[in-house]
Structure 1
Amino acid sequence: MTVRVVLADDQPLVRAGLRMVIAEDPGLQVLGEAATGGEAVRLARDLRPDVVVMDIRMPGMDGIEATRIITADPEGPRVVVLTTFDDDDNVYGSLRSGASGFLVKDMALPEILAAIRVVAAGDGLIAPGVTRRLIERFARGPAPFPPPRHRVPDAVTGREREVLTLVGTGLTNHEIAARLVISVSTVKAYVTRLLAKLDARDRVHLVILAYEMGLVSPPRSR
């Protein structure tokens, strides 16, 4: 199946680079390009792509607001934020707005293409190492993580709570299995149940919920 993509970035060179690489991949197709958040919303509605690759900083409506509008449609495309990690403190906000993951602009283009496929397949993209860097980055900023806004539902068991906490810290299924001394398949089963019980769209959403429920706190700088 061909993954249909809309590119949203105010930098023509970024869009051109992605478009050229995608054109060489038989499994991906660019349906359209947007230079603003408003254009991205319109193309997502009119073209119905599978994935929107979204920049954050664009003129007019930014990528976070555009992501919020696009993902509010349950039949709409999934969104991957493409941003500059070192100087963009809005990544967490983009994930909370409904993005299924984020990429950084210094990633190799083949890695970006692979990430688009992962998100199109229904998974969230939040690599463990990047998760930890993200947490450390925000910990140096002005309290980006709000106080706990939700309680853990009673339907979540003690073991599922443990798994959710470890997912929130960025551990992989293999790392969680080693930590809890259980099999990887058992971890996958717990994650699947958590997705259903918490009405979470993907693993990225579980990470956000772990913070919002107060199960995980970012490290504080000394």
Structure 2
Amino acid sequence: MGNIKVLIVDGHEKVRQELTAALGRKQGLEIVGAAATGQEALRQVMSLRPDLVLLDVKMDDGNGVETCRRIAAMIPMARVVVLTSYFDETERNKVLSAGACAYLLKEIGAKQLIHALRALGADRMAAGEGKDDGM
């Protein structure tokens, strides 16, 4: 099994840079792209076909829940992991209904985040081996 391909989507450049630096050095994870907006994320999802999309639902260009829904529809085998600054039960329920597989707070420790991403990515890769994503 190869590296787990991760796309980072967050409206804050510093957060994207920090996540890229922290996750990109870890064995088994490969940061394939980073996006600041939902529209940019949708374009990158189609071209990069990541295994995991790390998504902050609070973006300047609109509705992160809809971005999550569209990513899940475009590449059903990709796992969308919401990484947000604060807990909102209504938002959590909406993104989970929209296709996210996890809702994590940004205060999560790096070690726990890496463990979660590896577990979710391995699950995705095992489920999708030899399968076409319907595209």
Contact 2:49 2:75 in 1 (8 A): no
1:42 corresponds to:
43
Of structures 1 and 2, the larger Rg is shown by 1
Give per-residue Cα distances to partners, 1:185-211, cap 9 Å, x unaligned.
Answer: xxxxxxxxxxxxxxxxxxxxxxxxxxx
The aligned counterpart of 2:66 is: 65
Which residue in 2 is equivalent to 1:120?
121
Higher strand share: 2
Three-state SS of the structure 1 residue aligned to 2:32 is strand
Q: Distance in 2 between matches of 1:86 and 1:101?
A: 13
Give me the whole-angstrom Cα distance separating, in 2, the residues matched to 1:33 and 1:112.
17
2:6 aligns to what? 5
C-alpha distance in 2, partners of 1:75/1:98? 9
Structure 1 residue 27 displacement after superposition: 0.9
RMSD: 1.7
Q: Is the 8 A contact 1:55 1:83 kept in 2?
A: yes
Cα deviation code 1:101-135 (max 9, x no counterpart)? 11111011121111111211227xxxxxxxxxxxx
1:94 is matched with 95
Change (3 A) 1:59 1:115: same
Matches within 5 A, 1:144-159: none
- Counterpart AA for 2:102: G
Structure 1, unpaired ranges of 5+: 124-222
Distance in 1 (CA, whole Å) between partners of 2:75 and 2:54 is 18
What does 1:1-222 align with in structure 2 at a 5 Å threshold?
Answer: 1-86=2-87, 89-122=90-123
Structure 2-normalised TM-score? 0.83
Per the TM alignment, residue 89 of structure 1 is displaced from its structure 2 partner at its CA by: 4.0
Q: Deviations over 1:15-61 (max 9, x none)?
A: 11111111221211111100011111111111001100000110113
Residue segments in structure 2 that go unaligned for 5+ positions in a row: 125-135
Kindly provide the amino acid, as one letter, of the partner of residue 42 in structure 2. V
Q: Distance in 2 between matches of 1:88 and 1:11?
A: 23
Scaled by the length of structure 1, the TM-score of the pair is: 0.52
SS in 1 for 2:74: coil
Do 1:36 and 1:62's aligned partners in 2 also have CA atoms closer than 8 Å? no
Percent of residue pairs identical: 34
Q: How many equivalent pairs are there? A: 123
